């Protein structure tokens, strides 16, 4: 459960950073924005796997 909470906190921080960088760069296709988005996507997939395991347990 601690892992899930830590990952959710990390995802929240990435979302805030994504908004900040996208606004500063003025583009959703800026390489830094895309890198942050990809990192968030990876966390989302990891969290989905955790949730699936919890549902199957």
Instruction: Please give the pLDDT value at position 11.
Output: 97
- What is the number of structural domains in the chain? 1
The whole-angstrom separation of Cα 40 and Cα 9 is 11
pTM of the model: 0.88
Query: Where in the sequence is the domain holding 35, given as residue range(s)?
Result: 2-56
The whole-angstrom separation of Cα 20 and Cα 1 is 29
Instruction: Please give the pLDDT value at position 35.
Output: 98
Q: What is the pLDDT of residues 1-47, one digit of tens each?
A: 779 999 999 999 999 999 999 999 999 999 999 999 999 999 999 99
Here the CATH number for the domain that contains residue 9 is: 4.10.280
The whole-angstrom separation of Cα 2 and Cα 40 is 18
Instruction: Please give the pLDDT value at position 2.
Output: 79
């Amino acid at each position: 459960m601690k892992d899930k909470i830590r990952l959710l906190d990390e995802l929240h921080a990435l979302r805030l950073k994504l908004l900040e960088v996208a606004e500063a760069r003025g583009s959703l296709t800026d390489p830094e924005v895309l890198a942050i988005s990809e990192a968030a996507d990876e966390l989302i997939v990891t969290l989905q796997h955790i949730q699936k395991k919890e549902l199957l347990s």
